[in-house]
Amino acid sequence: MQLNLIEDSMKQNKKGLIWYGLRDLFQLGLMLTYKLHEYRHKFKGNFKHAANCIRAALELKGYREVYVPDEKVDIHVYNHTARNIESYMPENSIIFKPTAPTSKHFALDKLGYANTSELAYEEPKLNDDIEQMDWQSIIDLKNTKPNKWDDSILIKWRPVNIFKEHILIIGQQPHDETVNGFGFGDHWKRLTMIVDYLSTTHYNIVVKLHPNMKIKGKVKDKVDAWLNNDIDVRTGFNSIHDFLPRTTCAIVDNSTAGIECLMHEVPVISYGWPEYHWATKKLQTLPQLHDLLQDMSWHRPVYARQFIEWYINHYLCNDTTSTHKRLGEILNANI
């Protein structure tokens, strides 16, 4: 009878075949296996924390870790990649990626991470009852000024003073996969077009470049030109939490910094497709930017609150309990 059920599942949902099979094996009490692939990033720091949480959560679900390359595995776990760019990745794979707001938070997904995650394609169903939203937890977290590199002993964050209300334009590393590979590339050119466009307006502009970006050559020439035009450019390891209290609107591509912006209740305009784009306003063309900044009635503060509270407290993982819950959602998705 059990074999007939599996056969029916194979016919009805070919793509979900493996997840159906896992469910039936689990119900039979058979031992399931998993393999953690130390792919792209070694399991150190925040990657080690995520891997350990996944191990503990899978073992609670009755899975046994295997290490032999050719051994049959029920679940493969990869990191920092996406299914459709890895031709060898088995269908029964899960992907994790450390992300903001802290060094302990990470995402688990069936498709990828950031703008290739399932969340980036499908809007989540949020609880409309704002009374059930734990916004105080977001306030408490925000006040600690967390970041996803909290565990690094090499990075020294310097305090920064921002005195004027401003439009904050947030940069990324141009070679970051989310903007060059997942996105269509040339992040630097798009960012410079936005800054140059706004330089002719009355707004105070602050440009926060990625702290690891090399300021030399043509990049330095452009930065110097902005500085000469009274545009505030920040290039060091400055906490974004020091900027956001005076930010009236933030403009991002696919940066995880957008998560902190939403924690501070800052309206966000996105010209990429970050997984939190549901709580932002999409910038379709450069001339549209003038109207969006002049009239920000597009901003939905209640929805933005609901989204980021759900994202941090109910979607992301940070310990064994939250990982166990998220794995259950993924493994049961096709049942």
Q: How far apart are CA 237 and CA 148, in angstroms?
A: 13
* The 205-208 sheet, strands edge to edge: 232-234, 205-208, 166-170, 247-252, 268-270, 281-282
Residues 213-234 pLDDT 10s: 999 999 999 999 999 999 999 9
Residues 269-285 pLDDT 10s: 999 999 999 999 999 99
Residue 254 has pLDDT above 90, yes or no: yes
CATH superfamily of 130-313: Glycogen Phosphorylase B; (3.40.50.2000)
Q: How many residues does the chain have?
A: 335
- Using only the alpha carbons of the chain, give its radius of gyration: 22
Residue 335 has pLDDT above 90, yes or no: no
Q: How far apart are CA 242 and CA 145, in angstroms?
A: 8
Residue with tokens 């990626």: 97
In a 13 Å sphere around the CA of 188, the CA atoms on its Cβ side amount to: 13
Portions of the chain given CATH number 3.40.50.2000: 130-313
Averaged confidence pLDDT in the chain? 89
Residues 177-208 pLDDT 10s: 999 999 999 999 999 999 999 999 999 999 99
Residue with tokens 């979607």: 315
Average pLDDT over residues 53-69: 93
C-beta atoms surrounding 202 within 10 Å? 5
